[in-house]
Amino acid sequence: MNKACHITVSGLVQGVGFRPFVYRIANKHNLSGWVRNTNESVEIFIQGQQNSIENFLTEMRSDPPAASHIEKVLLSYTEPVELQGFMITRSENTSDKITEVSPDIAVCNDCLEDMHLQPNRINYPFINCTNCGPRFTIINDLPYDRQNTTMKPFPMCDSCRREYEDVNDRRFHAQPVACSDCGPHYTLITKNHRTEGIDLIVSTVAGLIMNDGIIAVKGLGGYFLACDATNDDAVTRLRFLKNREGKPLAVMFHDIDTIRQYAEVSDAEEHSLLSWKRPVVLLQANHKNLLAPGICVGLNTIGAMLPYQPFHHLLFNELKIPAIVLTSGNISDEPILIDDQNAIDTFLPKTDGVLVYNREIENRADDSVVRIINNTERVLRRSRGFAPAPVTLNLDTGGILATGAELVNTFCIGKGKQAILSQYIGDIQNVETISFYEEALAKFQKLFRMTPSVVAADLHPDYFTSRFAENQGRSLKLIKVQHHHAHIASCMAEHGLDEPVLGVALDGTGFGTDGNTWGAEFLYCDLADFTRETHFDYIPLPGGDRGIEEPWRMAVAYLFKIFGKDITHLEIPFLEKIGQEKVDVIVKMIRSGINCPLVSSSGRLFDAVSAILDLCLYSTFSAEAPMRLESIIEPDCSESYPFTLGETVNFDLTITNIMEDLRKNIDPGIISAKFHNTIISVIIEVIHRMKIRHSCNKVVLSGGTFQNKYLLERTEMELLKKGFMVYSHHLVPTNDGGISLGQLAVAAKRKQSGLHF
Ligand code: ZN
Ligand code: ZN
Ligand code: FE
């Protein structure tokens, strides 16, 4: 007796080989029927023996394609119909709902093998299959079919078409399927020559890199700059070329064993390095780190990744060096370049060659960055391999656009219960990034069929994203969300929390409801609203933004608060370096209160301590001073400094004791550890008080300061030991890259409850 079953599968099921997989297991279990993509899901109809249907369902759930992620399966049994065999039917453009667009997937091992075996794909660098290859970076519309990607100009040859149409082939319905006869190809452009042919290109590029050269390489989501990671001259030149003063550079290694020669790699770190997402993983450098000093700039971490495009593998086969720098091809803070002519104009005069290929990049995507903290992958920059996979919430987010913050921006759109974050946009501080923001938003609205009716934005009056939200027109409901409330809400949204929690938001800067700059906030909050329970003491930030760029100013502010004019008699190296005159100017500014906004920022406190220890007086990239402070921690030290907990948190005693330790010539690594331990104690103590006041046991940690591995690891462990439930970020950045998700969640909650709406 035959049964029939109608199945709807939602989740990450398009562009990841799900339909062919369904086809194969249907045939295996002798079921007839069909499978098709719709805009909202994958729809399956199967009929056959009851136990075959059950076996089919078990196999579908337990062994789906590597890059897929099944979120929900709906099934209903119906009457069998007249039907022969199993078919993959045409995509249906049925509704304005969407199914998930797959992120890009690193080339798979089967394809790497095919590069040696298939005559039309020997060393073919655009090889892919249903399990791997470009996705988000080439798609411009749904459903995910070849004509809606930038593969459209490349008609399949007969051989590729046969594979595409053969259900038993690994390339069955692989939309970007291609071979050397029909697909895209690379061209290497040097100052007076164009090189064609992949073998010659690879050997030429490898030769140039091994001989001090710098090459601009078109990657999946944009152009990258590559050079020998063991060659200090090349690295210095590359840094100069990018106009990028201090930031550490990402490094691509030959393989995982090579990475182990340079850095410690835990199981969780290995897992992230080898995952199909292939992010940059921040690893602890080991003592014999032999990379060019200009890469890690004195920090104890290496941003390491493994080859993910076929070209990377071909290149490393030729290279006789262990690693290359592979960093975003942009100038200063502008977005990564994606346009070929622009890249040639920009990079050809300054490099030894530009490697282009003749397929357009539809969606720009930088390399993503993760860090393993407490054995869990934390996404610090969410782009290639991650975007645009959604975060599923317990709230209806439909029609909400959240515009994000100002630095390391992402935006977020709501679709049903899904929050779809954009790729990493960057610091919105120049016209190029603003255009990227506007373009990406237009593309997301088209791709995900989304027209906003509500727009959520930061409280800051001067952020581009706030003004952008205000200019969206009167028909849109505007919801303003305080920055640190958004941080906590972002982490809550990730964990499906919708109840009062104890929030700890530690970061650099966010506009407060009192007009001051907040940044170390203890909030009793739910998704809709918050109360500020306490915060670090306000302290003047001499010179506003200059005070952020020059951490020594913050050190002077703290020391002046404690020692008054006696600060001039303090004998510490950093003050001597800065010089009496400059210190006096800052003291005058503080006294008169001119251009000294009040801040309660954790980032600025870390800046001050870093400067007092003479680790970083002038910051050449964001969060440099806190990173240098973290970098020198002596991990075996469990001591801490005293602090005062009144209405607010006061660090006068902490700073005084740091000065005392400095005078005693205590090792800076010990001082740094003691300082970090102090912050952990502050969190524990404040949270303990809040717990008593509110009978609440759930602690949510967010904000850029929690990118600090030592701090987050130990804060989590201490809170767990005390019996708290602890929530921190995994899926979206704890820095301002996660703010848009929080704004979206707050807006959704207020909309649902009618509060402030
Ligand atoms: Zn493959
Ligand atoms: Zn072909
Ligand atoms: Fe922030």
pLDDT at position 41 is 86
Quick one: which of 674, 677, 682, 607 has its CA closest to 649? Answer: 682
pLDDT at position 756 is 62
pLDDT at position 17 is 84
Q: Which one of the ligands is nearest to 512 CA?
A: 3
Residue 5 C-alpha to ligand 3 middle, in angstroms?
Answer: 49
Q: Which one of the ligands is nearest to 128 CA?
A: 1
Q: Which one of the ligands is nearest to 180 CA?
A: 2
**Structure tokens of 476?**
């849109």
User: CATH number for the domain including 330?
Assistant: 3.90.870.10
Q: Which of 316, 335, 357 is the last residue of a domain?
A: 357
Residue 337 C-alpha to ligand 3 middle, in angstroms?
Answer: 27
Q: What is the pLDDT of residues 551-562, one digit of tens each?
A: 999 999 999 999
Residue 316 C-alpha to ligand 2 middle, in angstroms?
Answer: 25
With both helix axes pointing from N to C terminus, report the angle between 709-721 and 668-694 in degrees, rounded to the nearest 10.
Answer: 40
My answer on whether 348 and 326 are in the same domain is yes
Q: Which one of the ligands is nearest to 129 CA?
A: 1
pLDDT above 80: residue 380: yes
Residue 132 C-alpha to ligand 2 middle, in angstroms?
Answer: 17
Residue 304 C-alpha to ligand 3 middle, in angstroms?
Answer: 26
Residues 684 and 690: their CA atoms lie apart, in Å, by 10
My answer on whether 71 and 116 are in the same domain is no
Q: Which one of the ligands is nearest to 118 CA?
A: 2
pLDDT above 80: residue 746: yes
Residues 369 and 279: their CA atoms lie apart, in Å, by 5
Q: Which of 681, 699, 720 is the last residue of a domain?
A: 681
pLDDT above 60: residue 94: no
My answer on whether 43 and 162 are in the same domain is no
If you average pLDDT over each of 17-31, 54-68, 683-697, which comes out highest? Answer: 683-697
pLDDT above 90: residue 34: yes
pLDDT at position 246 is 87
My answer on whether 657 and 591 are in the same domain is yes
My answer on whether 161 and 225 are in the same domain is no
pLDDT at position 58 is 96
Q: Which one of the ligands is nearest to 738 CA?
A: 3
pLDDT at position 754 is 84
Please list all protein residues whose beta carbon sits less than 5 angstroms from ligand 1, which is an ion.
108, 111, 129, 131-132
pLDDT above 90: residue 263: yes
Give the number of domains in the chain. 4
Residues 624 and 631: their CA atoms lie apart, in Å, by 10
Residue 435 C-alpha to ligand 3 middle, in angstroms?
Answer: 23
Secondary structure (3-state) at 365: coil
Quick one: which of 702, 509, 740 has its CA closest to 604? Answer: 509
My answer on whether 664 and 587 are in the same domain is yes
pLDDT at position 97 is 61
User: CATH number for the domain including 619?
Assistant: 1.10.357.160
Q: What is the pLDDT of residues 718-743, one digit of tens each?
A: 999 999 999 999 999 999 999 999 99
Q: What is the pLDDT of residues 564-610, one digit of tens each?
A: 988 988 889 999 999 999 999 999 999 999 999 999 999 999 999 99
Q: What is the pLDDT of residues 98-152, one digit of tens each?
A: 667 889 999 999 999 999 999 999 999 999 998 999 999 999 998 888 999 999 9
User: CATH number for the domain including 55?
Assistant: 3.30.70.100
My answer on whether 210 and 252 are in the same domain is yes
Residue 36 C-alpha to ligand 2 middle, in angstroms?
Answer: 24
pLDDT above 90: residue 11: no
Q: Which one of the ligands is nearest to 65 CA?
A: 1
Q: Which one of the ligands is nearest to 739 CA?
A: 3
Give me the domain span that covers residue 38.
2-88
Secondary structure (3-state) at 218: strand
Q: What is the mean pLDDT of residues 58-78?
A: 92
pLDDT range class, residue 14, cuts 50, 70, 90? confident
Angle, vertex CA 618, rays to CA 612 and CA 624, nearest 5: 85
Q: Which residues contact 289 (CB under 8 A, 6 or more apart)?
A: 262, 263, 296, 302
* DSSP letter (8 states) at residue 515: S
Mean pLDDT of the residues in the chain: 95
My answer on whether 130 and 191 are in the same domain is no
Share of the chain above pLDDT 90, in %: 88
Q: What is the mean pLDDT of residues 523-536?
A: 98
Share of the chain above pLDDT 70, in %: 98
Q: Which one of the ligands is nearest to 463 CA?
A: 3
CB 60 within 8 A of CB 25: yes
- On the 0-12 / 13-18 / 19+ scale of CB atoms within 10 A, 81 is exposed
Q: What are phi and psi of 519, to 5 degrees?
A: 180, 5
Q: Which residues contact 751 (CB under 8 A, 6 or more apart)?
A: 396, 400, 454, 477, 479, 757
Residue 234 lies in a domain: yes
Q: Which one of the ligands is nearest to 185 CA?
A: 2
Residue 164 C-alpha to ligand 2 middle, in angstroms?
Answer: 10
pLDDT at position 39 is 75
Residue 563 lies in a domain: yes
With both helix axes pointing from N to C terminus, report the angle between 624-631 and 668-694 in degrees, rounded to the nearest 10.
Answer: 110
Residue 521 C-alpha to ligand 3 middle, in angstroms?
Answer: 11
Q: Which one of the ligands is nearest to 171 CA?
A: 1
Residue 407 C-alpha to ligand 3 middle, in angstroms?
Answer: 8
Residues 41 and 70: their CA atoms lie apart, in Å, by 10
pLDDT above 80: residue 619: yes
pLDDT at position 98 is 66
Please state the separation of Cα 307 from the chain's center in Å.
Answer: 18
The pTM (predicted TM-score) of the whole model is 0.95
Residue 736 C-alpha to ligand 3 middle, in angstroms?
Answer: 5
Residue 185 C-alpha to ligand 2 middle, in angstroms?
Answer: 12
My answer on whether 176 and 190 are in the same domain is no
My answer on whether 160 and 285 are in the same domain is no
Residue 162 C-alpha to ligand 2 middle, in angstroms?
Answer: 9
Residue 630 C-alpha to ligand 3 middle, in angstroms?
Answer: 19
Q: Which of 681, 706, 738 is the last residue of a domain?
A: 681
Q: What is the pLDDT of residues 200-217, one digit of tens each?
A: 999 999 999 999 999 999
